[in-house]
Amino acid sequence: MNKLLRRTSDPSRIPDNAAGGLLHIDLDVLASNWRNLRDHAGGAEAAAVVKANAYGTGIEQAVPALLRAGCRTFFVAHLDEAICTRAVAADAAIYVLNGLLTGTGPTYADFDLRPVLGSSEEIDEWAAFSRSEGRRFKAAVHVDTGMNRLGLTVPEGLALRDRTDLQDFDLALLMSHFVSAEEGGNPLNGQQIEAFQAVRQSLPGIPASLANSSGIYLAQKPHFDLVRPGYALYGGNPTPDRDNPMSPVVGLEGRIVQLRWIEPDQTVGYNGRWTALEQRRVATISVGYADGYPRSASARGNSSETVLAGMALVNGRRCPFAGNISMDLIAVDVTEAADQVQRGDTVTLIGGDLTVDEVGRRAGTIGYEVLTSLGSRYARTYRGGEG
Ligand SMILES: *Cc1c(COP(=O)(O)O)cnc(C)c1O
């Protein structure tokens, strides 16, 4: 066996040019986005939502960078993500948004984690667990003000103060979540703020949190005591109707493995969904849907039709995808940049003016899904994040 193969148990030993795609993650920009959000939060504490492996960027790298920026409170979705976060954040407050599953109390206690209790049953169980351990363990309570997904109903929230078992644990945070905070003009925002206010007033002294990334930018400034940005930290635009106040954290490049001329009437890719109407130059890029690039960004039609589909930046020039995205490959019509490309060059799939938001839109989805799908196949390089 050759030396390299013997060493592959340590992925850091695999050279970057051995991978199909190159993912760049800028931890200094992540930290500056966090500071920017904190400065917009009107004095409220800024937490960081690091669920889904910090939106694809890596909990192990993102959390220490956020800690150095001054972040002290983290939110994840699952208990296992919380344990991974604890491994790199010994003293932070860590909340688990998806709540308490029966029998997991000891795990919460072992790692000093806080469930976000989303139903009366979860409150029962957390109070009982705290009593059985003789300790007032911390938790948040989630009140559902419109999502109809997780959380107590508003009437249940208003009745909380009458629950005697509320004294059995430490209610450290009261929270709710916006349905469409990215639509600044949506009347639901105001209704949710009002319902949340009412519950909050019935529980004086309990810190409160409502705003996600977009919520921070709402005209009503619903910052309360703590804000919970996720997407914007990683460069997503929290104000889709306006310029992005954030800077991009993630860049993705793919390598050209072949270049070829396609003759008129020839198709490209599986099922022949894209046809060259005249001779076209097509570059085949070594990134596919198995890398996490959404297949829904496939380009169907022909070389003259404009369809909503993926794009690559080739030497700064926008070049459209051609045909279906395969598991490991994307074909790009580089005719317009034909004299400037050669085999082995890299093209930009996320970066420059090709933002995560646009990549999501071109795939018929949202940038959140693009980020959280970023694959483990990429050679990941991190910039910044030191002391
Ligand atoms: C994911 C999530 C957030 C973060 O939302 P962004 O839109 O990514 O800022 C905040 N709060 C809750 C409850 C969430 O599930």
Hey, CA dihedral for 101, 106, 107, 112, is it positive or negative?
positive
In the predicted model, what is the mean pLDDT of the chain? 95
Question: Is residue 365 predicted with pLDDT exceeding 70?
Answer: yes
**How much is the average pLDDT of 212-217?**
98
Q: Is 299 exposed, middle or buried (0-12, 13-18, 19+ CB in 10 A)?
A: buried
What is the C-alpha separation between 278 and 248, in angstroms, rounded? 37
CA distance 2 to 65: 37
Tell me the average pLDDT across 198-224: 98
* Architecture (CATH level 2) of domain 41-234: Alpha-Beta Barrel (3.20)
Report the pLDDT value the prediction gives residue 10, as an integer from 0 to 100: 65
Among 37, 45, 50, 75, which residue has the most ligand 1 atoms within 8 Å of its CB, making it the best to mutate? 75
Output 116 or 375, whichever has higher pLDDT.
116
The finding on whether 97 has its CB within 6 A of some atom of ligand 1 is: yes
Cα–Cα nearest to 374, from 22, 77, 30, 87:
22
Q: Which residue from 97, 216, 369 has its CB within 8 A of the most atoms of ligand 1, so it is best to mutate?
A: 97
Q: What's the sign of the alpha-carbon dihedral 209, 218, 152, 228?
A: negative
- Residue 220 clears pLDDT 80, i.e. is over it: yes
Above 60 in pLDDT, residue 55?
yes
What is the rounded distance in angstroms from the CA atom of residue 217 to the CA atom of residue 41? 8
Looking up tokens 């050669």 gives 342
pLDDT at 366: 98
Residue numbers annotated as active site: 51, 270
CA distance 204 to 225: 12
210, with CB counted inside 10 A (0-12, 13-18, 19+), is buried
Cβ–ligand 1 distance for 95 under 6 Å, the answer no
- Specify the residue with its C-alpha closest to ligand 1, atom 4: 230
Report the 10 Å Cβ neighbour count for 384: 15
pLDDT value at residue 1:
40
Angstrom distances, CA of residue 28 to CA of 25, 36, 84, 195, 228: 9, 12, 21, 37, 19
What is the position in ligand 1's atom list of the atom closest to the CA of 49?
Answer: 4
- Sketch the domain layout of the chain as residue ranges: 41-234, 250-383
Across 6-20, 256-270, 349-363, least confident range: 6-20
Average pLDDT over residues 351-379: 96
Backbone angles phi, psi at 166, to 5 degrees: -65, -25
Q: What's the rounded Cα separation, in Å, for the pair 44 and 291?
A: 38
Q: Ligand 1: does its nearest atom lie under 6 Å from the Cβ of 99?
A: no
pLDDT band at 16 (very low <50, low <70, confident <90, very high): confident
For the CA of 51, the nearest atom of ligand 1: 1
Report the pLDDT averaged over residues 98-117: 98
Q: What is the mean pLDDT of residues 75-93?
A: 98
Please tell me if the CB atom of residue 52 comes closer than 6 angstroms to any atom of ligand 1: no
Q: Is 49 in the pocket of ligand 1 (CB under 6 A)?
A: yes
Whole-number Å distance, alpha carbon 76 to ligand 1 midpoint, is 9
Ligand 1 centroid from CA 378, angstroms: 26
CATH topology of domain 250-383: Lyase, Ornithine Decarboxylase; Chain A, domain 1 (2.40.37)
Q: What is the reported pLDDT for 290?
A: 97
Token digits of residue 46 = 């800024």
Q: Is the CB of 177 under 6 A from ligand 1?
A: yes
* Cα–ligand 1 centroid distance for 237 (angstroms): 14
Q: Are 224 and 182 in contact (CB under 8 A)?
A: no
Which residue CA neighbors atom 3 of ligand 1 most closely? 212
Is the confidence at residue 284, as pLDDT, over 50? Answer: yes
* Distance (Å, whole) CA 168 – CA 188: 34
Give pLDDT, residue 14.
Answer: 77
Span 72-96, mean pLDDT?
98
CA of 97 to the centre of ligand 1 (A): 9
Q: Each residue of 289-336: pLDDT tens digit?
A: 999 999 999 999 999 998 999 999 999 999 999 999 999 999 999 999
368 CA closest ligand 1 atom index: 8
Tell if the pTM clears 0.85, that is, is over it.
yes
Sign of the dihedral through C-alpha 73, 233, 49, 293: negative
Percent of the chain at pLDDT > 90 equals 93
- Of 66, 148, 173, 228, the one to substitute when testing ligand 1's pocket (max ligand atoms within 8 A of C-beta) is 228
d(CA 118, CA 151): 4
Longest dimension (CA), the chain: 77
Distance in Å, CA 86 to ligand 1 centroid:
19
Q: Smallest Cα–Cα separation from 125: which of 137, 143, 113, 110?
A: 137
Query: What pLDDT is attached to residue 385?
Result: 81
Mean pLDDT of 212-224: 98
Q: Is 40 in the pocket of ligand 1 (CB under 6 A)?
A: no
pLDDT digits (tens, 9 = 90+) for 17-48: 888 899 999 999 999 999 999 999 999 999 99
Show binding-site residues for substrate: 149, 327
Q: Is the CB of 145 under 6 A from ligand 1?
A: no
Q: Please, which pLDDT band fits residue 15 given cuts at 50, 70 and 90?
A: confident
**Cβ(118) – ligand 1 distance below 6 Å:** no
Identify the band that residue 11 occupies on the pLDDT scale cut at 50, 70 and 90: low
